[in-house]
Amino acid sequence: MISAIEAAREQFADEVVTRALSRDVELPYGAGKAVLITLDNGHDHTKPNTFGPAGLLSLNEAIDAAAARTDIVAVAITGKPFIFAVGADLNGVPKIQNREQAHAIGKLGHDVFRKLGELHVPTFAFINGAAMGGGVEVALHCTYRTVSSGVPAFALPEVFLGLVPGWGGTYLLPNLIGAEKALKLIIDNPLAQNKTIKGPQVYEMGIADAIFEPADFLEESLRWAAKVVTGEITVERPEVDKGEAWDQAVATARWTVDAKLHGASPAAVRAIDLVAEAKNRTRDEGFAAEDEALADLILSDQLRAGLYAFDLVQKRARRPKGAPDKSLARPVTKVGIIGAGLMASQLALLFARRLEVPVVMTDLDQERVDRGVRYVHDEVDKLLAKGRVNSDKANRIKALVTGSLSYEAFADADFVIEAVFEEMSVKKTVFAKAEEHISPEAVLATNTSSLSISEMAADLKHPERVVGFHFFNPVAVLPLLEIIRGERTDDATLATAFAVAKQLKKTAVLVKDAPAFVVNRLLTLFMGEVLSSVEEGTEPEVADRAVAPLGLPMSPLMLLQLVGPAVALHVAETLHAAFPDRFRVSEQLKAMVEAGKTTIYAPDFTIDPEVRAFFTGGDSPKSEEEILNRALEALAREIKIMLDEGVVAEPADIDLCMITGAGWPFHLGGITPYLDRTGISEKVNGVRFHPDGLKAL
């Protein structure tokens, strides 16, 4: 095994090694001596512990040293402050050249971790902080587990990236807590934007045997372990149902994955297969099957795509391309919001929660203002009920948000954002009124989804302080924030916008002042191709289903319902005015809006019969394959034009926008590498977006 690790280390030359540091501790109550292994890579919590070959070697040596001792009664493993371990070191994975090397990586983890379940003394995992992937799996190999109630994130995210939990997760977890709960962590959560659970849920699900508060977590865990060793505490776990319940959970997971992804994620299918077979396999058989799965998936296009997407959201998102020096940013001590509708109210809640500064909303009448403030208070109450904020924080947030009918309330605001009707004349009017009352340095931000920032600012005394600040709905869920620089936006304004975005915990991308910016431009084009096929005679259900192989979070017609036909029409008209040869306005959509239709679906999720009546005509129906190819080719052409126009700096920015703003599937990587991979880029543009392949960001 050691030679295998040494061979693998060549692929991980830049590994930040997580060392396994051992020390003896005397357990309370006279229970005896234990070895406590602490995982620590020598950095603070901003650089979490990971497992590469050298880290596995260090842990292997620590376990072997403990195994050779006859004077100990237990071995425990924990992490550095705030971090247990977050899984495998993925930096070396792209350098793996063949299946043999990939297989070795999987086997190394098993060979080291399984020793924790095979020692002559009981082993304990004290999960003190964030635990993901291999960090969860090393804990599963232990005999017992405790968890801190303060653990902020616990997950098996491998399927999200294009892998499976391959160091014991698909075998040990279902055999510990049952297939249904295990598949929630292995399949459901990764496919729900990589959702994580917290410490209390880890205990409630039966993964941990005991839970303690963060302040004295290690001390309490050692006391608990001592009582287990002496027999004072006997851990009893519910028997896992390996009959119909297991099979039903697997069947449900298969149906969910097929409905969501339509075969677009081989890793999800492979993970379900492993859980299904874990019911009857031995430990050796289960681990060997995981090794084979990792060997196949590590070399897959899906993993390469997933790692590229992961790098985008973890690295590029933290260093926005083209952002001015952050030292130019001005402090924001109060925020003004023009409008008190749904979007404005969502913004008020976000600014109050994240910036913790006063937020004042204004609108045309007191009723609207009161409704906006009431929305914020109701949402805060929901957060309180879910335990997302405590009562003190809830009261502070509510106190920060107020309403006013006068723009004079913005006099001492440093950042004023409008969220009013998407009409240029309306936005110019409210900005002109606001400018009469705010200081010359205050930022004027617009949440427009498609209109020109430069035109909006043209008639103001200080056009240099106007910036686009485009959020995506729902504001609390989608991370993307398109920051748009107008022709006269100055660096201080732009720097302030990026600083505020960071405080809001949003992924900010700098975008040129171009019609509909990035996401809406591409989604409008994509949806337009689908609607065009309907006008040509394709049944709407067929057209809607055509893009299913991509595994998008929602179909085009569902997206149309979410956005709203009127908004979709407005954006389409804006883009048609700017680029009449590439963007057309659907006559069916126009008629639908003129008829006052605001939704697409009936309550039973079939197309509303009244809406369906608009989807008629045409005598040239298209096949699903034709529609999908046409839509993807249109996207490839438009992305090339956008890059040539300098709408964003690089293809990676297009990808980051689509992943974080449109829900482009993580397992497909970015949209540009996907178009490269499928040959569409070269077919349409004669060149790939990434001619030299995907590079580290």
- Closest to 32 measured CA to CA, from 222, 234, 235: 222
- Taking the domain 1-299, which CATH number applies? 3.90.226.10
Q: Model confidence over 151-169: pLDDT tens digits?
A: 999 999 999 888 999 999 9
Rounded Cα distance, 493 and 80, in Å: 40
pLDDT at 695: 56
pLDDT at 7: 56
The SS3 of residue 78 is strand
Q: What is the pTM of this model?
A: 0.85
Of 77-81, 168-172, 563-567, 654-658, minimum mean pLDDT range: 563-567
Q: Model confidence over 474-487: pLDDT tens digits?
A: 888 889 999 999 99
How buried is 659 (Cβ within 10 angstroms: 0-12 exposed, 13-18 middle, 19+ buried)?
A: buried
pLDDT at 10: 62
Alpha-carbon dihedral of residues 404, 406, 408, 409, nearest 10 degrees?
10
- Taking the domain 519-646, which CATH number applies? 1.10.1040.50
pLDDT at 691: 87
Q: Model confidence over 56-71: pLDDT tens digits?
A: 999 999 999 999 999 9
pLDDT at 61: 96
Q: What is the 3-state secondary structure (H, E, C) of 57-96?
A: HHHHHHHHHHHCCCCCCEEEEEECCCEEECCECCCCHHHC
pLDDT at 696: 45
Q: Model confidence over 585-622: pLDDT tens digits?
A: 999 999 999 999 999 998 888 899 999 999 988 889 99
Say if residue 289's pLDDT is above 60: yes
- Looking at domain 327-513, its CATH architecture is 3-Layer(aba) Sandwich (3.40)
Query: For a pLDDT cut of 90, what percent of the chain falls above it?
Result: 77
Of 87-91, 234-238, 250-254, 516-520, minimum mean pLDDT range: 87-91
Q: Model confidence over 426-474: pLDDT tens digits?
A: 999 999 999 999 998 999 999 999 999 999 999 999 999 999 999 998 8
Q: Model confidence over 223-275: pLDDT tens digits?
A: 999 999 999 999 999 999 999 999 999 999 999 998 877 777 789 999 999 99
Match 């915990």 to its residue by tokens. Answer: 505
pLDDT at 13: 62
The domain spans of the chain are 1-299, 327-513, 519-646
Say if residue 658's pLDDT is above 70: yes
pLDDT at 3: 53
